[in-house]
Protein backbone atom coordinates (compact mmCIF):
# COMPACT_ATOMS: atom_id res chain seq x y z
CA UNK A 1 0.00 0.00 0.00
CA UNK A 2 1.39 3.39 -1.02
CA UNK A 3 0.41 6.13 1.43
CA UNK A 4 0.30 9.78 0.40
CA UNK A 5 -0.25 12.68 2.77
CA UNK A 6 -2.12 15.61 1.21
CA UNK A 7 -1.72 19.07 2.74
CA UNK A 8 -3.98 21.94 1.68
CA UNK A 9 -2.54 25.42 1.96
CA UNK A 10 -5.90 27.02 2.67
CA UNK A 11 -7.78 27.40 5.95
CA UNK A 12 -11.02 28.42 4.23
CA UNK A 13 -13.98 26.09 4.77
CA UNK A 14 -14.99 26.34 1.11
CA UNK A 15 -11.39 26.04 -0.13
CA UNK A 16 -11.00 24.84 -3.71
CA UNK A 17 -7.59 23.40 -2.85
CA UNK A 18 -8.99 21.35 0.03
CA UNK A 19 -11.80 20.23 -2.31
CA UNK A 20 -9.15 19.16 -4.83
CA UNK A 21 -7.53 16.93 -2.21
CA UNK A 22 -10.90 15.48 -1.19
CA UNK A 23 -11.60 14.66 -4.83
CA UNK A 24 -8.15 13.09 -5.10
CA UNK A 25 -8.88 10.65 -2.25
CA UNK A 26 -11.44 8.96 -4.53
CA UNK A 27 -9.20 8.93 -7.59
CA UNK A 28 -6.08 7.32 -6.15
CA UNK A 29 -4.77 4.28 -8.03
CA UNK A 30 -5.41 0.80 -6.62
CA UNK A 31 -3.42 -0.14 -3.53
CA UNK A 32 -2.72 3.48 -2.61
CA UNK A 33 -4.37 5.96 -0.28
CA UNK A 34 -4.44 9.69 0.34
CA UNK A 35 -4.81 11.00 3.88
CA UNK A 36 -5.56 14.71 4.24
CA UNK A 37 -3.74 16.76 6.85
CA UNK A 38 -4.47 20.33 7.85
CA UNK A 39 -2.26 23.28 8.68
CA UNK A 40 -4.96 24.49 11.09
CA UNK A 41 -3.56 25.00 14.58
CA UNK A 42 -0.04 25.82 13.39
CA UNK A 43 0.79 29.15 15.06
CA UNK A 44 2.61 32.04 13.42
CA UNK A 45 6.32 31.27 13.50
CA UNK A 46 7.97 33.01 16.42
CA UNK A 47 11.46 32.12 17.64
CA UNK A 48 10.39 32.87 21.19
CA UNK A 49 7.55 30.33 20.91
CA UNK A 50 10.01 27.82 19.44
CA UNK A 51 12.34 28.36 22.41
CA UNK A 52 9.49 27.02 24.59
CA UNK A 53 9.24 23.88 22.44
CA UNK A 54 7.84 22.84 19.06
CA UNK A 55 4.02 23.24 19.12
CA UNK A 56 2.00 20.00 19.18
CA UNK A 57 0.28 20.73 15.82
CA UNK A 58 3.71 21.04 14.19
CA UNK A 59 5.08 17.84 15.72
CA UNK A 60 1.94 15.97 14.65
CA UNK A 61 2.29 17.16 11.05
CA UNK A 62 6.01 16.36 11.00
CA UNK A 63 5.36 12.79 12.12
CA UNK A 64 2.58 12.40 9.53
CA UNK A 65 5.09 13.42 6.83
CA UNK A 66 7.70 10.99 8.15
CA UNK A 67 5.18 8.13 8.02
CA UNK A 68 3.92 8.92 4.50
CA UNK A 69 5.50 7.56 1.32
CA UNK A 70 4.94 10.92 -0.35
CA UNK A 71 3.49 14.38 0.29
CA UNK A 72 1.08 16.15 -2.07
CA UNK A 73 0.83 19.91 -1.56
CA UNK A 74 -2.36 21.59 -2.80
CA UNK A 75 -1.36 25.22 -2.96
CA UNK A 76 -3.46 28.33 -3.45
CA UNK A 77 -1.76 31.41 -4.93
CA UNK A 78 -1.57 34.78 -3.20
CA UNK A 79 -0.10 37.70 -5.10
CA UNK A 80 1.58 35.30 -7.51
CA UNK A 81 3.33 33.38 -4.78
CA UNK A 82 2.92 30.97 -1.85
CA UNK A 83 0.18 32.04 0.62
CA UNK A 84 1.73 33.17 3.90
CA UNK A 85 -0.17 30.66 6.04
CA UNK A 86 1.12 27.75 3.97
CA UNK A 87 4.74 28.96 3.92
CA UNK A 88 4.49 29.61 7.65
CA UNK A 89 3.43 26.01 8.24
CA UNK A 90 6.31 24.61 6.18
CA UNK A 91 8.73 26.95 7.96
CA UNK A 92 7.59 25.51 11.30
CA UNK A 93 7.96 21.97 9.94
CA UNK A 94 11.59 22.77 9.14
CA UNK A 95 12.37 23.40 12.83
CA UNK A 96 14.66 22.45 14.40
CA UNK A 97 17.08 22.37 11.44
CA UNK A 98 18.61 19.13 12.75
CA UNK A 99 15.29 17.43 11.96
CA UNK A 100 15.02 18.63 8.32
CA UNK A 101 16.77 15.57 6.91
CA UNK A 102 14.49 13.17 8.78
CA UNK A 103 11.28 14.97 7.79
CA UNK A 104 12.05 16.24 4.26
CA UNK A 105 15.29 14.60 3.09
CA UNK A 106 14.66 12.64 -0.12
CA UNK A 107 10.89 12.69 0.52
CA UNK A 108 8.97 12.55 -2.76
CA UNK A 109 6.78 15.66 -2.84
CA UNK A 110 4.37 16.74 -5.58
CA UNK A 111 2.52 20.02 -6.08
CA UNK A 112 -0.97 20.74 -7.40
CA UNK A 113 -3.14 23.80 -7.07
CA UNK A 114 -6.27 25.56 -8.18
CA UNK A 115 -7.55 29.12 -8.22
CA UNK A 116 -10.52 31.01 -9.61
CA UNK A 117 -8.21 33.00 -11.89
CA UNK A 118 -7.02 32.19 -15.41
CA UNK A 119 -3.59 30.79 -14.48
CA UNK A 120 -4.52 28.27 -11.77
CA UNK A 121 -1.57 28.75 -9.34
CA UNK A 122 1.24 28.28 -11.87
CA UNK A 123 3.34 31.00 -10.22
CA UNK A 124 2.67 29.75 -6.71
CA UNK A 125 3.65 26.24 -7.74
CA UNK A 126 6.88 27.61 -9.19
CA UNK A 127 7.53 29.54 -5.99
CA UNK A 128 7.45 26.27 -4.07
CA UNK A 129 10.33 24.81 -6.06
CA UNK A 130 13.11 26.69 -4.31
CA UNK A 131 11.64 25.87 -0.90
CA UNK A 132 11.34 22.15 -1.66
CA UNK A 133 14.87 22.13 -3.04
CA UNK A 134 16.23 23.86 0.05
CA UNK A 135 14.60 21.25 2.26
CA UNK A 136 16.19 18.42 0.26
CA UNK A 137 12.95 16.85 -0.98
CA UNK A 138 12.80 14.72 -4.09
CA UNK A 139 10.02 16.57 -5.89
CA UNK A 140 8.22 14.87 -8.76
CA UNK A 141 8.07 16.84 -12.00
CA UNK A 142 6.53 14.18 -14.21
CA UNK A 143 3.11 15.82 -14.18
CA UNK A 144 1.64 19.27 -13.78
CA UNK A 145 -1.79 20.24 -12.54
CA UNK A 146 -2.77 23.89 -12.22
CA UNK A 147 -6.55 24.10 -12.36
CA UNK A 148 -7.75 27.52 -13.52
CA UNK A 149 -11.24 29.03 -13.22
CA UNK A 150 -12.04 26.87 -10.19
CA UNK A 151 -15.62 28.16 -9.95
CA UNK A 152 -16.39 26.38 -13.23
CA UNK A 153 -14.66 23.17 -12.16
CA UNK A 154 -16.02 22.53 -8.66
CA UNK A 155 -19.69 22.38 -7.69
CA UNK A 156 -21.24 23.81 -4.52
CA UNK A 157 -20.28 20.74 -2.51
CA UNK A 158 -16.66 20.90 -3.71
CA UNK A 159 -16.96 17.93 -6.07
CA UNK A 160 -15.27 18.18 -9.47
CA UNK A 161 -17.96 18.69 -12.10
CA UNK A 162 -15.64 18.88 -15.11
CA UNK A 163 -14.88 15.30 -16.30
CA UNK A 164 -11.78 16.45 -18.19
CA UNK A 165 -10.24 17.93 -15.03
CA UNK A 166 -11.19 14.82 -13.08
CA UNK A 167 -9.33 12.71 -15.66
CA UNK A 168 -6.31 15.04 -15.49
CA UNK A 169 -6.24 14.66 -11.70
CA UNK A 170 -6.52 10.88 -11.99
CA UNK A 171 -3.62 10.77 -14.46
CA UNK A 172 -1.54 13.04 -12.24
CA UNK A 173 -2.12 10.78 -9.24
CA UNK A 174 -1.33 7.65 -11.26
CA UNK A 175 1.97 9.15 -12.42
CA UNK A 176 2.89 10.33 -8.94
CA UNK A 177 2.09 7.01 -7.26
CA UNK A 178 4.11 5.16 -9.95
CA UNK A 179 7.01 7.50 -9.08
CA UNK A 180 6.60 6.76 -5.37
CA UNK A 181 6.73 3.04 -6.08
CA UNK A 182 9.88 3.42 -8.15
CA UNK A 183 11.41 5.57 -5.40
CA UNK A 184 10.64 2.87 -2.82
CA UNK A 185 12.50 0.10 -4.69
Ligand X SMILES: Cc1cc2nc3c(=O)[nH]c(=O)nc-3n(C[C@H](O)[C@H](O)[C@H](O)COP(=O)(O)O)c2cc1C
Question: Would you tell me which residues interact with ligand X (CB under 6 A)?
Answer: 10, 12, 15-17, 76-80, 115-117, 119
CB 15, min distance to ligand X, A = 3
CA angle 87, 88, 94 (to 5 degrees): 90
CB 107, min distance to ligand X, A = 23
Residue nearer to ligand X on the CB measure, 2 or 15? 15
Residue nearer to ligand X on the CB measure, 32 or 121? 121
Note whether 57 and 99 are within 8 A (CB).
no
The Cα 127–Cα 132 span in angstroms is 9
CB 124, min distance to ligand X, A = 7
CB 111, min distance to ligand X, A = 14
CB 177, min distance to ligand X, A = 23
Residue nearer to ligand X on the CB measure, 160 or 177? 160
Residue nearer to ligand X on the CB measure, 12 or 101? 12
Residue nearer to ligand X on the CB measure, 17 or 32? 17
Amino acid sequence: MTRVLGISGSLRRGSYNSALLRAATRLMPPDSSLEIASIRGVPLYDGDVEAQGIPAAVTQLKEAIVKADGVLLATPEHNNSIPGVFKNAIDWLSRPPADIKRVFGGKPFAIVGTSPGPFGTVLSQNAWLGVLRTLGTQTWFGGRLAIARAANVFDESGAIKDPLVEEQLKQFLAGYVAFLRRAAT
